[in-house]
Amino acid sequence: MPPTKKVLLVFLPSESGVDGARSLYSEKEINPLLGFFNRSLRTIIKQSQFAIPPLSLMILSSVEVPGVRQSICDMRFEEFPWNEKWDLVGISVQTGMAKNAFALADKLRSAAIPVALGGAHVTLFPESCRPHADVLVPGEADDLWKEVLTDLAAGILKPLYRSDNFPDLGRSRPVSKTSLIKRRYFTTNLIQTGRGCQYSCDFCNVHLLNGHTLRRRAIADVVSEVARFQQDDRRIFFFVDDSINADPVYALELFRKLTPLKIRWFGQATTTLGQQHELLKTFANSGCQALLVGIESIEAKSRSAHKKNQNRAGELVRAITTIRDAGISLYGSFIYGLDGDTVDTPAAILDFIHETKLDVPGINILRPTPGTQVFERLREEGRLLFDPLDITAYRYSFGQEMLYLPKNISLDAFIESYSTLTRKVFTIKNSVTRGLSAPRAKSAVMLFNLFYTHLYGLSRRDLQHQRENNF
Ligand code: SF4
């Protein structure tokens, strides 16, 4: 019998954000004392276990092929295990971390370890990934990965595995958590219910990566996965789906069936939920603690400039109030710097946060991620502040970097107004108040606000650094 092939699936940390809040610049450059404080805080944040496992690697590591054994290396917590022999290393490449992924891939290949690259960046830019990989797997890999592993076992790996169709999520593919180290994470209970989004917001790549058609897993599969997962981890569940209420008939049946399991859960929804009264009640009864909603903009001009058309700004306040009144806490994310925004927008965002009592506000700067429609438009208009031809030049950050020229606001005025807004929204006092007044998940709401108070402090310092160095 041939020896078992060993496969390692690698997840890389982003340069900042929840993976380890840090300045984008050398901490020595800022101030040694501040550097020490930031490093200590980073350790505390990591130990607070905000991290959740990489779902895509959980799914791939659950694919079983005779003669192949898979494990996961989450490099947010551990170094790459160079002392072991690997027959194939799969790296999930996200745009914003591509440079680090390619550096690791190159190092592995120079040590004669074959590398397979997959993930969002490979799907959007396969040709730029080709020089760093033995095997490319663009697109959703649920079915393709089985082919890769089967070919690995037979010693006939091909350079490209691609499918013209999205996988049928209705087919049963049970996910296993055996490759995860449970204590590292906030929870290991991540469950995907569906993929795809029918909208086309120009700053988003979900519809490009997963298509415009909503695809859902079979309700019976999701329910049995929840029942199985809760046996070894009683912590919170995360339902991974860009908008869990987009198909209300499906969602109603699913969460009615989940209610007897008495779980607590977080998810993502659109504010339309405020008008879906029966579904809202069912969410609350089934243990929904908090939802992330993408508010993005309250400026009508910005919403139409960026094709964020699915809910009107005027309806947002009522919808958010209705959802909170049903006993569900809300994380609302905004983007400042859209094409209809002016220097008056921050004051409107601040009023909106006060009026709605949003539990966790997230205030992002527009990120022109390569591959998105907004990236292409800003490139054509000459408004990008990074090299659009260098596909690795874009990096992920959390409001810490200006990557483009806003349309109606000078860079100086933008940084000034954004910094003033985040300074007003994120304070220790506001964090405690929001935590205490949250309908549910009070301690998580408070911790998130405190964490953001630190993170937006980093944002202000990094933006100032960028300004002083002329971008
Ligand atoms: S931002 Fe949300 S609603 Fe818009 S395309 Fe992306 S996933 Fe869909």
| Alpha-carbon gap, residue 117 to 179, rounded angstroms | 19
Does position 20 have pLDDT exceeding 80, yes or no? no
Does position 48 have pLDDT exceeding 60, yes or no? no
- Which tens digit of pLDDT belongs to each residue from 126-176? 999 999 999 999 999 999 999 999 999 999 999 999 999 999 999 999 999
Residue 40: its pLDDT value, please? 67
**The Cα angle at residue 401 between residues 457 and 308, in degrees rounded to 5:** 105
Q: 240 C-alpha to center of ligand 1: Å? A: 14
User: Mean pLDDT, to the nearest integer, of 312-339?
Assistant: 93
Domain boundaries, the chain: 5-154, 187-469
Q: Measure the N-to-C terminal CA separation of the chain; round to a whole number of Å.
A: 60
In order, the DSSP letters of 215-260 are EE--HHHHHHHHHHHHHH--S-EEEE-S-TTSSHHHHHHHHHHHGG
For domain 187-469, which CATH number applies: 3.40.50.1220, 3.80.30.20, 3.40.50.300, 3.20.20.100? 3.80.30.20
- Which tens digit of pLDDT belongs to each residue from 165-224? 999 999 999 999 999 998 888 899 999 999 999 999 999 999 999 999 999 999 999 999
Q: 295 C-alpha to center of ligand 1: Å? A: 10
Cα–chain-centroid distance for residue 182?
Answer: 20
Residues in contact with ligand 1 by the CB-under-6-Å rule are 197, 199-201, 204, 206-207, 242, 294
Mean pLDDT value across the chain: 92
Report the atom number in ligand 1 closest to the C-alpha of 307: 4
| Alpha-carbon gap, residue 155 to 277, rounded angstroms | 55
Query: Residue 396's pLDDT band (boundaries 50, 70, 90)?
Result: confident
DSSP annotation of 70? E
| Alpha-carbon gap, residue 195 to 432, rounded angstroms | 35
- Which tens digit of pLDDT belongs to each residue from 250-271? 999 999 999 999 999 999 999 9
User: Mean pLDDT, to the nearest integer, of 4-13?
Assistant: 95
Does position 90 have pLDDT exceeding 80, yes or no? yes
Residue 302: its pLDDT value, please? 85
Does position 6 have pLDDT exceeding 80, yes or no? yes
Of 471, 417, 426, 432, give the one whose Cα is nearest residue 452.
426
User: Mean pLDDT, to the nearest integer, of 315-329?
Assistant: 96
| Alpha-carbon gap, residue 244 to 261, rounded angstroms | 19
CB-based contact 293:268 (threshold 8 Å): yes
CATH 3.90.550 holds for 5-154: no
pTM here is: 0.92
Mutate to test the pocket of ligand 1, among 207, 273, 307, 335 (most ligand atoms within 8 A of CB): 207
Of 452, 403, 446, give the one whose Cα is nearest residue 426.
452
Q: 18 C-alpha to center of ligand 1: Å? A: 21
Report the atom number in ligand 1 closest to the C-alpha of 308: 4
Query: Residue 306's pLDDT band (boundaries 50, 70, 90)?
Result: confident
